[in-house]
Structure 1
């Protein structure tokens, strides 16, 4: 056994230090310093990589050479070249640095940190029972701070990570901005896209509609008399004044698509002339809502008077220049059209039905709860969406939002809502209500109707147009719209379709909740509410609208309750 002090090791290392300056670079690109002293066992020369440096002692130079791999001439010469040096410590007179004592084997590994002999520890490793060898393994108490290549890799990966992160942020911001600039709606009117080449749905349009009514009511445009036509008669009969009241008047007005009765009176038969000679009809005041069962035929009126009434005026507009074909609408052309704004941004369209109530789509408002009602405002009597021009108009605060409780956001069924204004509207040539549909009166397929709104004019638009658009669209029968080449059964009884088989004109994002109006008996009626559809102006995929006629009772109930 030959204990060796740290001091002796230091002297041995100094001897070989000068010879290590011109050693080649290792695979990691590090160079050998003048302080180099780590040693390897002979096994490392045979292919085993040992990362620590080992000082071999207790072997002669020949013994060390024997440990080297055959053919390692360079290593043998290094061993032979090891100089002889006596230790400075007198306690180790038996030790010598001759070639019989120590051979320094240099591993060409770069160490950039200074070598400190005092930091060495000596461990004993038994190589065999009969042949113990003391191996002094140099263990740095302060290891090298890090390999340069590792630092480079860390910097590369960190740079790539930062670049990817920045790219993700940029893409995320772009996506958010694009989404925020889009109105939160599923569709909107007037998209005049190019017709795509495709096979058009050739299902025959059903233009015949079976009217389920057996009794028809109307208000004469000539003298405002209430008239009834029975199913089997061709003539219109006046209604006797007997047992008449305002509740019956409201019931009749709503049957005709008007919200309420404005006034009524009895008119003497002598004042209406000899036009009514086929008899009269009397309406009883039984507590029933079905007008078909409330009438009785009479040969004469006992009071000698008949009913004249006037319902809530709606569905009319001032005489204005007409512009058609999916172009800009003039102010007052669609006086019931409104714009619903949320947080200073156009969200959906809507239709005025009274001076305080707006009809729109449920999907426009169902995500907004009562605490956010204050963020909604309505603009009426406008055709512009330009912020600067819009500042000239008064925004109307919203008091209440009610959407149909049966609304299904997946199927878009029952997609209708009512918005109550805090302050009533003042009607004018540019602000007027639209009429509702008549009870049990469906318009046939092919009927020409109109859509209007601030929707995108192309499906990939980001900004809504500054001026209200309008376009004509024909109604499409539910039978055709539900065919396999169109919506394949997705259209429920509470929906209707309008548009063209080849595309061309349709609703698009931004106009949801807006009106689909048809002229019927000289007044404009809100037949549909823009709801949903596949794409915009796509062939075989016309716009789908909420069928307002199916919600008349619900509308009247809400208006009476609030």
Structure 2
């Protein structure tokens, strides 16, 4: 996806006017695109998924008589000492009923998009502290710090009309795991240290790190990402995907993947698997994106079980996706964060050729 960065002052003026007045939508001029919370009629999932009547995802095509002109804009307030792993299950400024396959607005506040400097989407990652984002090493390739941007607090990458603005953060330092093996995806993890710490708000918060020896076998967890919806799609998603996936034991996963990688294939100890349900899973462009599992001590909060590593096509029956097992790297994360310390450390939670995704 290509994003436009840097434009003429007149365009900013036109955008400001557009945001105040809204554009016409639907078959007549009696409707306008307005933020969802300013329309008296609730958001309809069918309209949302069928082009949203020409409006951006954070907006509704609302009849003029139903527009709530006296409703104030929503303010972004900094959150002091936020709990890690707390999702916005009903969105922040609005909720869309029955959002099958899509996340609610800012549902996963730890989710980030990795972009190049002209705005092209590269992959995903997760916030683990104000200064640290975790992702997959293969997503970064040979890129340097000044060639990458971390975008936090976004939901629809196609528009800037969300009530809560995203934050584009520059990178101070990249730490790649030295044991990465591209042949089998082992140790596929990297840390991005930001130049300026993120301010935590309702739509930008960290996810918890799992404790030592956490076993996620047989859990049902949540994957989120902006990669392709299906293998044959030509482009990445604009609105964030949300897919519930079962954790698959390593023995079962290894056996199922041998159909594609041969009988000698062995799943490295640094990996875990999830998925294997038809039509569900990560896809190309999802590399580095988080797999979040409910905390056993508090299922309303989530910890980072994995980050997308590789897979076979997308959403195939009995073919799990392979994730980097974050628990295996907990000590490495803490050690590297200490070496690169410039503010806050991540909060530990105490309660054959493959296809890179």
Partner of 1:380: 152
1: CA distance, partners of 2:99 / 2:168: 30
Query: What is the deviation of 1:392?
Result: 5.2
Q: Is the 8 A contact 1:325 1:472 kept in 2?
A: no
Paired residue for 2:199, among 422, 426, 437?
Answer: 426
2:238 paired with 1:461 = no
Give 1:554's aligned residue: 332
Query: How far apart, CA to CA, are the structure 1 residues paired with 2:159 and 2:171?
Result: 20
Which structure 2 residue ranges, 5 or more long, are not aligned? 3-80, 341-357
Question: Segments of 4+ in structure 1 off by > 3 A?
Answer: 321-326, 387-394, 484-490
Partner of residue 104 from structure 2, selected from 325, 330, 338: 330
TM-score, length of structure 2 as denominator length: 0.65
Change over 3 Å in CA distance of 1:323–1:357 after alignment to 2: farther
Comparing both structures, which one devotes a greater share of its residues to strand? Answer: 2
1:360 corresponds in structure 2 to 135
Determine which structure has greater relative contact order: mean sequence separation of CA pairs < 8 Å that are 6+ residues apart, divided by chain length: 2
- The residue that corresponds to 1:351 in the other structure is 126
Mapping of 1:185-200 within 5 angstroms?
none
Offset at residue 323 of structure 1 (A): 6.1
Counterpart-to-counterpart distance in 2, 1:322 and 1:554: 39
1-structure distance, mates of 2:96, 2:211: 27
> 1:420, CA displacement in angstroms?
0.9
Of 302, 308, 311, which residue of structure 2 is paired with 1:524? 302
Cα distance in 2 for residues equivalent to 1:537 and 1:513: 17
Does structure 1 conserve the Cα–Cα contact (< 8 Å) formed by 2:82 and 2:200? no
Deviations 1:413-434, CA, capped at 9 Å, x for gaps: 1011101111111111111100
Deviations 1:167-190 (Å, cap 9, x if unpaired)?
A: xxxxxxxxxxxxx98xxxxxxxxx
1:440/1:394 CA distance change after superposition, 3 Å? closer
1:543 partner SS: strand
Note closer, same or farther for the CA distance 1:392–1:553 as it changes in structure 2 (3 Å cut).
closer
* Counterpart secondary structure, 1:395: strand
Give 1:161-180 correspondences, 5 Å limit: none
- Mapped to 2, the partners of 1:532 and 1:319 lie a distance apart of 28
In the TM superposition, residue 504 of structure 1 has moved relative to its aligned partner by: 2.1
Looking at structure 2, the residues matched to 329 and 313 of structure 1 have their Cα atoms a distance apart, in angstroms, of 20
Contact 1:496 1:528 in 2 (8 A): yes
Distance 1:324 1:400, change over 3 A: farther
Say yes or no: does 1:340 pair with 2:114: yes
Q: What's the CA shift for 1:438?
A: 1.3
**Which aligned pairs between 1:231-250 and structure 2 lie closer than 5 A?**
none
Specify which structure has the higher proportion of helix.
1
CA contact (8 A) 1:317 1:429 kept: no
- Say whether 1:401 aligns with 2:174: yes
CA pair 414-466 structure 1, distance change in 2 beyond 3 A = same
- Identify the residue that residue 496 of structure 1 maps to in structure 2: 272
Total equivalences in the alignment: 249
2:177–2:190: 8 Å Cα contact kept in structure 1?
yes
State the Cα deviation string for residues 452-478 of structure 1 (Å, max 9, x = none). 010101212222121111010000001
Task: Specify whether residues 324 and 513 from structure 1 end up closer, same or farther in structure 2 by C-alpha distance, changes over 3 A only.
Answer: farther
Task: Specify every segment of 5 or more residues in structure 1 that has no aligned partner in the other structure, as ranges.
Answer: 1-179, 182-310
RMSD, aligned CA? 2.4
Higher radius of gyration, 1 or 2: 1
Q: Out of 317, 328, 339, which is 2:87 matched to?
A: 317
2:281 is aligned to 506
Give me the TM-score of the superposition, normalised by structure 1. Answer: 0.42
Q: Distance in 2 between matches of 1:534 and 1:422?
A: 36
**Structure 2 matches for 1:80-479, cutoff 5 A?**
313-318=83-88, 320=90, 321=95, 326-343=100-117, 344-368=119-143, 372-386=144-158, 389=161, 393-445=166-218, 447-479=219-251
